[in-house]
Amino acid sequence: MFRFSDLMRPVSKELEFRKEGYYVWCGSMFRYQDRYYLAYSRWKKEYGFEGWVSHSEIALARADSLLGAFTPIGKILPFGEEEDWDHDVAHNPTVIRYGDTFYLYHMANSGNGEFWNHRNHQRIAVAWAKDPEGPWQKAKEPVIDISPEGVDSLMTSNPTAAVTPDGKVLMVYKAVSKYGEMPKGGAVVCAAATAPHPLGPFQKYHEAIMANPEHAWSVEDPFIWYEKDRFYALVKDFQGYFTGAEKGSTALFTSLDGKDWQPTEHPLAYSRVLDYGTCKMPVENLERPQLYIEDGVPKLLLCAVRVHPEDDDTFNIRIPLGKGEEA
């Protein structure tokens, strides 16, 4: 089994993407015709770093080459009427292509402005378009709602999806149960569901597929993909339980069927360190992993970065991936 960190190449300042006046966070990169697009989360700095839960929106940027500079285009989500369940927030974008259509899964919510109220109203939504520059349509209801009981009975968020070899869609997502001291609720785990089409209906597995047996706050921020004969997942390891490294490091899991997931032989995918070639810089956050995959080969790792906990500078970075002399 390969070491994911062996694929990672040094980064440069030119691969950092920012938007003036905004916190920039998670981003999903994809290609349409001869251009590259980034669907990313942003929220105004006036709301503070925790403002993602109540004021985040998803915007689009465009580049002319794989490592070219991204130019912001504008906001995609949320949109709709004030009474819509998802009118306040859009966050955690992840984009897949199915046929000739792009499907953008994301977390959405509405609330009263209080952190935990918004957090506990998080559900997974979907929007779609044939051209990334619009128009976009959206589903009226959550594509992954909470369950009456079980691991996702309080909230669902952090979606990631992959098309399976038989043409179905596998989704892995963050789930929190209602069985715990409120407002936090119960264990933070990853769950999964499958559907015959990107718009559903999704059939849940109704159990945690990744969970730390020693701590309720276990894993989140999954990204899944299918390569050769199996699925892989990058996932934030809150406690470093699976990676054997520091808290917040990223673990690599694998699965043959999308339901039974296990850490790989080398479970530490990477630590919270950015390699700039001439120096290695530890950072406070290196999370929300997303891969840009072309012709079945992962080319880039995209991550949300906050260097210092007191700093309001955040950005999304593209980390080149390669094997041997490839980059």
Q: What is the 3-state secondary structure (H, E, C) of 21-38?
A: CEEEEEEEEEEECCEEEE
pLDDT at 237: 98
Return the percentage of the chain with pLDDT > 90, whole number.
Answer: 96
pLDDT at 326: 37
Is residue 168 within 8 A of residue 218, CB to CB? The reply is no
User: Judging by beta carbons within 10 Å of its beta carbon (0-12, 13-18, 19+), is residue 291 exposed, middle or buried?
Assistant: buried
Mean pLDDT, rounded, for 239-250: 97
pLDDT at 2: 81
pLDDT at 4: 97
The three-point CA angle 30-39-231 to 5° equals 55
pTM for this model (two decimals): 0.96
Mean pLDDT, rounded, for 200-225: 96
Residue among 159, 127, 152, 129 at smallest CA distance from 141: 127
Q: Does residue 327 carry a pLDDT above 50? A: no
The three-point CA angle 43-48-49 to 5° equals 75
Q: Is the peptide bond between 183 and the residue preceding it cis, with omega within 30 degrees of 0? A: yes
Higher local confidence (pLDDT), 310 or 241: 241
Give residue 62's pLDDT band: very low, low, confident or very high (50, 70, 90). Answer: very high
Range in 74-88, 97-111, 188-202, 313-327 the model is least confident about? 313-327
pLDDT at 262: 97
pLDDT at 36: 98
User: Judging by beta carbons within 10 Å of its beta carbon (0-12, 13-18, 19+), is residue 266 exposed, middle or buried?
Assistant: middle
Q: What span, in angstroms and rounded, lies between the C-alpha atoms of 303 and 212?
A: 23
Give residue 310's pLDDT band: very low, low, confident or very high (50, 70, 90). Answer: confident
Higher local confidence (pLDDT), 135 or 311: 135
pLDDT at 52: 97
Per-residue pLDDT tens over the stretch 163-173 = 999 999 999 99
Mean pLDDT, rounded, for 43-67: 97
- Taking the CA atoms of 66, 72, 78 and 79 in sequence, report the sign of the dihedral they define: negative
Q: Does residue 324 carry a pLDDT above 60? A: no
pLDDT at 85: 97
pLDDT at 325: 39
Per-residue pLDDT tens over the stretch 261-270 = 999 999 999 9
Mean pLDDT, rounded, for 248-253: 98
pLDDT at 64: 97
Residue among 20, 29, 24, 23 at smallest CA distance from 68: 29
Per-residue pLDDT tens over the stretch 90-127 = 999 999 999 999 999 999 999 999 999 999 999 999 99
Q: Which amino acid is at 306?
A: R
Specify the 3-state DSSP secondary structure of 180. Answer: coil
Average pLDDT of the chain? 96
